[in-house]
Structure 1
């Protein structure tokens, strides 16, 4: 079963990446000061992901739409990143957003819907 999913990812991966490139959303435009503040807040976030995972692509697209510069860790090809995700977050499932709060407490979000909702709630501009 493991090899089946690897084969599917190998075949469909390039198409998923092409679709991601062709459908890049336009980023949110903020003032320079607001974007600098958002960039500073994003330094407390890290996305653990697989390049061709459809759920990871959804999260990356939302990060583009919100103009978020979040550090991304490849947990597919990097054993070090995968091990850090498993050891610190408790699971090697992706996507996973690592959130370090002001009190230096770390929280791990593992569901793409929850990650997107969190990013929208924290960074979307109210109209």
Structure 2
């Protein structure tokens, strides 16, 4: 019975995945326009952030849409298909749960923020005008 259930969900992901990615592309929000100096400061801040995500995860799509809306060039790391990213996520956050935002401060201390609502809240608080 287990192989049948796994096959069902794998097929479901194969069918719905491209639809979700198409919807994400079609509904992309327009990014915030900042003056070049302000955007350069935001770009510098974003270098200490990394988003661990799966391409077709609806919660990851929610976070990526907010990143686009706020014009944030945060590095995206695929924890589904890249074993190194998946291992780093598991070791750092303690779970293979996405989306997960890795925040490294100026002192080199790392914080792992899970849950799409918490990540969106953090991004808005940190980068909204």
TM range, smaller chain: over 0.9
Partner of 1:53: 57
**Greater gyration radius:** 2
Structure 2: gaps (5+ residues): none
Q: Once superposed, which parts of structure 1, at least 4 consecutive aligned residues long, lie more than 4 Å away?
A: 1-4
Classify the secondary structure of the residue corresponding to 2:38.
Answer: helix
The one of 3, 6, 10 equivalent to 2:14 is 10
Mapping for residues 36-115 of structure 1, pairs under 5 Å: 36-115=40-119
Equivalent residue for 2:123?
119
Q: TM-score, normalised by structure 1?
A: 0.94
TM-score (ref. length: structure 2) = 0.92
| SS of aligned partner of 2:121 | helix
Distance 1:89 1:51 in 2: 19
- Measure, in 2, the Cα distance between the counterparts of 1:8 and 1:81: 25
Gaps of 5+ in 1: none
CA RMSD, Structure 1 to Structure 2 (Å): 1.2
